[in-house]
Structure 1
């Protein structure tokens, strides 16, 4: 037992050393993937290897290929660094090794999910009676929400999709903004609805769905099973759909309103940004990530549904050998996973660590830092092309080729990390500010590095 204790402590020490190094280490460095692959490769040993040696070999092999995504100057994707309490809780979850299938396999895991789900709904303004499925990410959350939507709109048309499948079913129409996230399309493929069911709706100047265009599309489509996918937080601009007006339109046409709020739904947690998602409580289902703006460990996300019975009908199953199944929906009844890790412990700990005020402050600080980014880069002579309403900043450095060269230079430099994107036909740098540890000094240091690198690349700036 002393050996086990020593091993776990060594692992925790390695993890802590890495996390403490994040403010100073290069965010991303060029890596020879073939060399990295070789460090992990080689024949599987015939004989057992002592655990402490395995751990040391793992650290040595992985260290050169670690990207400081949990650090304060990573702005490439909408990801946060897991908070101290949430990370420690996740370590405990690994040590406890619980199966969060139901309250029989782990009463504690289900209790943590139940409590954390209640807190999440309070923070986001989702009805307290809604169900909460703890899933792996936005893809799984959107799929669960759209599975519930598929169930209900077909049930309203007199069709039991869980029993009869889709062959012969009434056609389901799915409306979504032209700038929806790609996970919506994949969810439709996974659910058998197919992307041909999708009717793109035009968007406004910042990428939010055009309510007038949605109204016209619903009117022209006429009666029939209808799902509308709305968005809180455009992945490029941060823009949010007019949820109140859109949900009202959907319900007047007898449809189901699903909100993809992977990161933007957290606007509801702050009084300063709540207006951007006004009306979210009138939707039927919601998808939201925890490992993005809430700064929880991977993989943590949530599928909420205003109709718990529909949620469970779409996702759950029962079997004679599964003791405890078939009761009140919880755990695996609300997700597509049976062998589920107990991710609710980290969610509970992260929320407890921050509290209501801490979550609001996190959202407000990231939004303020995004505006600081935009102001700094604009003052340096570069073009900020979006309205910075949340934590997303889009920057142009002239023509597309020059912008791509600047993005590549920034990623190689290591001071910070930002990605490239294509929006409205232009190549742009996309900056996402989501980390609780990012400071004004981190933003200023990053702006200076971006400006230094951009001014060193030839070509004319375009405004």
Structure 2
């Protein structure tokens, strides 16, 4: 029974992926209305497993967003490489608690190997600790928890034992373009998202370090490797040099942009990032693994361990597994998907993936300008910010394209302009997909101008 059920699930999933580029990117009204089929009371005796899979496939699949397809340009979402989907399925079937060698020897081994590969391909300090978490928000939370631990320990304060009541103050510096995930992490850590010092940025969203205040050993600086709108990079190397003198902690929010370090043509953008103290990135964005798959990297292994470690009598055998002590003890084997992606791609393949998306973004931006649209940012990696003649026309154009269904992108506000943002992040995207998208955008413009 279970074998037939899993075969049915595979066939339905395989059929979904094989047809994904033939469908609308966002579901139509009919598909959304059909979701009402899930509105039913919980049954007394349960249901047939085959019927459950049928409902998911027939009612659920048509109402999915085709973000794994080739014409989705929203939210910096990468499509999953087929090998990572397969690795995900196998790891799910294993159903491992991937927090130590005691709970899963295979997950522990693969994640340790993957940690080394990540430090290598991203060219970060090889002794750093690496952890696999849900996404960049939790990666940033974990890294900043390590920073909080270290900065307060210097002043004789044990934040894990004593909390923040009465603790010495920590100063947090961010860009005025700081991503909301960093602010969320700061709020969860009790450091406050409104207490930060915001540093002005230039026209492309790069932190102007001439406005940095005096730094000291109680300072955290959150930098960006890849502005979520423009894609540009803060001068991380210069910031690190200033921080080194005072003992400040530098964190790099590199949810997608940190992968530029694996690209021969774009690595210069993230030069100096290796001097930072911690880094956050995602596998499910530019490495094209399934959701969810985030990575935290921390230079100070002891600070990370002490900020995240737990102790209990029943955990005696695994309390020394410092590398795998992340916020969640009960965690799935996310590192297996990253291992599969890196093993499949190799160094050259990762370079081709990242560099290729950047080149396609330039191709896309040039096509948008030929249509008469304005590209508001310097396209340095995979991000494009676009507007039309007015805020109203920009909004109408975005909605018209979304409703037509050939491609999808979402709104943003950039330097005071209402705009829409396109992210070229998937291994599946080709010039042909961009040409189809440009045609759809051009047709929508003509229709709106009638």
The normalised TM-score by structure 2 is: 0.97
What is aligned with 1:368?
A: 359
**Counterpart check, 1:243 vs 2:236:** yes
Q: CA deviation at 1:295?
A: 0.2
Given that residues 249 and 277 in structure 2 are in contact (C-alpha distance below 8 angstroms), is that contact kept between their aligned partners in structure 1? yes
Structure 2 Cα separation of the partners of residues 408 and 361 of structure 1: 33
CA shift digits 1:120-143 (9 cap, x unpaired): 111111111000110001110110
Query: Cα distance, 1:223 vs. partner?
Result: 4.0
Aligned to 1:46: 44
What is aligned with 1:336? 327
2:439 matched to 1:448? yes
Distance in 1 of aligned mates of 2:267 and 2:216: 33
The answer to whether the 8 A contact 1:31-1:64 is kept is no
Where 1:330 maps in the other structure, the secondary structure is helix
Aligned-partner Cα distance in 2 for 1:190–1:15:
37
| Mapped partners of 1:178, 1:253: distance in 2 | 23
How far apart, in 1, do the equivalents of 2:261 and 2:352 lie? 12
Worse-superposed segment, 378-387 or 57-66: 57-66
Match in the other structure for 1:313: 306
Measured in 1, the distance between the counterparts of 2:375 and 2:290 equals 31
Match in the other structure for 2:296: 303
**The 10-residue stretch of structure 1 (108-117 or 42-51) with the greater mean CA deviation from structure 2:** 42-51
Counterpart contact for 1:110–1:330, Cα < 8 Å: no
Match of 1:347 in 2: 338
SS in structure 2 of the partner of residue 442 of structure 1: helix
Q: Secondary structure at the match of 2:313?
A: coil
How many residue pairs get aligned? The number is: 450
The residue aligned with 1:234 is 227
User: Given the alignment of the two structures, is residue 411 of structure 1 paired with residue 409 of structure 2, yes or no?
Assistant: no
Hey, what does 1:157 align to over in structure 2?
Answer: 155
Q: Secondary structure, in 3 states, of the residue corresponding to 1:204?
A: coil
Are positions 1:432 and 2:423 aligned together?
yes
Q: 2:188 aligns with which of 168, 190, 202?
A: 190
Q: Deviations along 1:131-187, whole A, 9 cap, x unmatched?
A: 011000111011011101111111122211111110111111100000010011111
User: Hey, what's the Cα distance between the residues in 1 that align with 2:39 and 2:440?
Assistant: 36
Match of residue 204 from structure 1? 202
Whether the aligned pair in 2 keeps the contact of 1:7 and 1:51 (CA below 8 Å) is: yes
Deviations 1:69-125 (A, max 9, x none): 000100011011111111001001111111112110101111111111111111111
1:141·1:303 contact (CA, 8 Å) conserved in 2? yes
* Contact 1:397 1:454 survives alignment (8 Å): no
- For residues 313-343 of structure 1, the C-alpha deviation after alignment (integer angstroms, 9 at most, x for no partner) is 1112121101422214122x1x210110111
CA distance in 2, matches of 1:29, 1:56: 19
Alpha-carbon distance, 1:208 to partner: 1.1
**1:35-434 → structure 2 map (5 Å cutoff):** 35-214=33-212, 217=213, 219=214, 223=216, 225-331=218-324, 333=325, 335-434=326-425
Q: Taking structure 1 as reference, are residues 33 and 424 closer, same or farther at Cα in structure 2, changes over 3 Å only?
A: farther
> 3-state SS of the aligned residue for 2:422?
strand
Deviates more, 1:361-370 or 1:16-25: 16-25
Counterpart-to-counterpart distance in 1, 2:383 and 2:262: 17
C-alpha distance 147-77 of structure 1, shift in aligned 2 (>3 A): same
TM-score calculated relative to the size of structure 1: 0.95
RMSD: 1.4
**Any idea what SS the aligned residue of 1:22 has?**
helix
Structure 1 spans left out of the alignment, 5+ residues: none
